[in-house]
């Protein structure tokens, strides 16, 4: 089967516009007047930073749908060619955040479904890479190169200190052309409602971001990482100066969790809410225009125990102002369960501070293929049996996937692998790091204990 080449793009949002063909426009190059100061240049900063930005190359197999007439489907049964696996190759970008250990941040959509991952440095060296973990909710993934040597890591800035108007530089591998730098400014902060990811709190920039830039670096003028380039608004498929990046603080927190646990452990505030608006402010006679309006407090949650009430408006988290409910949700979801957070509220027109201990979110899960290719098609989460025995729950199994063909069922609970007791996704990942030729899973299915062999 002929391989389908695929450029993994910064996600494009189609808004149905038609653009005319672009015409090259050549700007005059400024010249230095004798006796005047030298023209400012980004070159000295970029020369130090470019070695920390890599090209990510992936190979894998993706399922592509093919339409089959309904009258013919009965002849195919489970082998219907409605969905066929086809090989693909893809390109993206990444950022080295730990040179000694070879850790690289990229986007989850760059490496999803990849069977093989490699990275190329700007000096031409290539390394194989393994996936430490990925999070589709935030679109962050962490890679580790094998046997790293003489790598350059990037310094990470505090993205909470960004302001609209700050200069920004995007670096990546657009269209597979090779390392490319573009410049602009921070156009907006806290962008959400784009329906790109489950968690949205983007930096918006007009620094040109194109297909292949996904996972690359958004920098300040000090050469420090302020964001991971992730998406573009691209009616015609190319950059129109509206790009989005995951803030560096969010990416750093998620990377630390992936390194420590191999998965994301999400905190849960225990409320339901909505964006604060002029209509809500008028209806409830609240003199606040921005923040998160609390519509419901879940019983026995950390918020309920802290005394938060429906009708409260959350205006700050750990003394940092909140612009929206989406920002609150994003920041809480990247904070570990058990952490204490300080919330600033407005209740009956008066300010109030409360401390909430975050619960553990029950919605966090991991794609099993990130742990072992033989488990592709299943999603896992930390769970337990009725008697309290801890294990790894099989939440979903895709029909005809490798996991389904191996015999795994939804609601199975993995309690052992290769005669090792496992109680969490992190423990399962650790056992399988050695890549055994055969994987023997001990699975509880109802009250029955069975073994399933994977190769």
Does the annotation flag 370 for ligand binding?
Answer: no
In the annotation, is 434 catalytic?
A: no
- 271 labelled ligand-binding: yes
Q: Annotated binding residue at 107? A: no
The alpha helices in 163-277, defined as continuous H runs, are 248-261
Q: Is 333 annotated as belonging to a binding site?
A: no
270 is in an annotated binding site: yes
- The verdict on whether 115 is a catalytic residue reads no
Q: Cβ neighbours of residue 299 under 8 Å, at least 6 residues apart?
A: none
- Ligand-binding annotation for 409, yes or no, is no
109 is in an annotated binding site: yes
Classified as helix, coil or strand, 282 is: helix
Q: 425, 424, 430: which is closest to 390 by C-alpha?
A: 424
Q: Is 227 known to sit in a ligand binding site?
A: no
Annotated catalytic, 214?
yes
Distance CA 200, CA 157 (A): 19
Q: Which two three-digit tokens encode residue 23?
A: 């015409």
Contact between residue 386 and residue 417 where contact means Cβ atoms under 8 Å apart: no
Q: Rounded to whole angstroms, what are the CA distances from 228 to 12, 191, 212, 417, 431?
A: 16, 14, 13, 36, 31
Catalytic member of 135, 136, 139, 382? 139
Which contiguous run of DSSP H or E holds residue 86? strand 83-98
Q: Is residue 46 part of an annotated ligand binding site? A: no
Of residues 138, 159, 214, 401, which has the active-site annotation? Answer: 214
CA distances from 226 to 152, 184, 244 (A): 17, 13, 12
Q: In this structure, what token pair is assigned to residue 255?
A: 């990377």
Question: Is residue 230 annotated as involved in ligand binding?
Answer: yes
Of 9, 55, 93, 109, the catalytic one is 109
**Which of 395, 455, 393 has the alpha carbon at shortest distance from 422?**
393
Report whether 396 belongs to an annotated binding site.
Answer: no
**φ/ψ bin of 411: left (φ > 0), alpha (ψ from -120 to 50), beta (otherwise):** left
399 labelled binding-site residue: no
Half-sphere exposure of 335 (CA within 13 A, CB side): 20
The binding site for substrate comprises 59, 109, 139, 212-214, 230-234, 269-273
The binding site comprises 59, 109, 139, 212-214, 230-234, 269-273
* Catalytic residue numbers, as ranges: 109, 139, 214
């Amino acid at each position: 089967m002929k391989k389908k080449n695929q450029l993994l793009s910064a996600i494009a949002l189609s808004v149905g516009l038609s653009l005319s063909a672009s015409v090259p426009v050549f700007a005059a190059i400024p010249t230095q007047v004798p006796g005047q100061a030298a023209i400012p240049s980004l070159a000295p900063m970029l020369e130090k930073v470019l070695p920390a930005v890599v090209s990510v190359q992936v190979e894998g197999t993706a399922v592509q749908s093919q339409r089959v007439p309904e009258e013919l489907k009965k002849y195919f049964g489970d082998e219907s060619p409605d969905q066929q696996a086809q090989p693909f190759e893809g390109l993206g970008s990444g950022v080295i955040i730990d040179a000694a250990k070879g850790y690289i941040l990229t986007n989850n959509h760059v490496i999803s479904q990849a069977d093989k991952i490699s990275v190329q440095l700007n000096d031409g060296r290539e390394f194989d890479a393994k996936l430490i973990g990925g999070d589709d909710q935030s679109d962050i993934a962490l890679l580790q190169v094998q046997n790293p040597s003489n790598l350059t890591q990037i310094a990470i800035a505090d993205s909470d200190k960004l302001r609209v108007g700050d200069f920004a530089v995007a670096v990546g591998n657009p269209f597979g052309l090779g390392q490319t730098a573009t410049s602009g400014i921070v156009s907006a902060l806290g962008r959400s409602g784009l329906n790109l990811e489950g968690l949205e709190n983007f930096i918006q920039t007009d620094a040109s971001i194109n297909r292949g830039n996904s996972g690359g670096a958004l920098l300040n003028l000090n050469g420090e990482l302020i964001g991971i380039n992730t998406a573009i608004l691209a009616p015609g498929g190319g950059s129109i100066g509206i790009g989005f990046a995951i803030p560096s603080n969010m990416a750093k927190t998620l990377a630390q969790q992936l390194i420590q646990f191999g998965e994301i452990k999400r905190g849960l505030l225990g409320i339901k809410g909505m964006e604060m608006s002029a209509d809500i402010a008028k209806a409830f006679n609240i003199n606040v225009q921005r923040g998160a309006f609390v519509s419901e407090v879940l019983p026995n949650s950390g918020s309920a125990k802290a005394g938060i009430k429906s009708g409260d408006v959350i205006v700050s988290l750990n003394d940092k102002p909140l612009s929206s409910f989406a920002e609150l949700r994003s920041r809480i979801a990247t904070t570990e369960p058990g952490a204490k957070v300080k919330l600033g509220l407005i209740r009956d027109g008066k300010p109030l501070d409360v401390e909430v201990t975050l619960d553990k979110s029950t919605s966090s899960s991991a794609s099993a293929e990130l742990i072992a290719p033989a488990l592709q098609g299943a999603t896992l989460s930390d769970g337990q049996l009725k008697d309290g025995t801890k294990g790894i729950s099989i939440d979903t199994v895709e029909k005809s996937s490798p996991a389904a063909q191996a015999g795994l069922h939804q609601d199975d609970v993995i309690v052992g692998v290769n005669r090792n007791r496992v109680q969490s996704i992190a423990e399962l990942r650790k056992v399988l790091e050695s890549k055994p030729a055969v994987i023997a899973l001990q699975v509880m299915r109802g009250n029955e204990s069975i073994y399933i062999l994977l190769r």
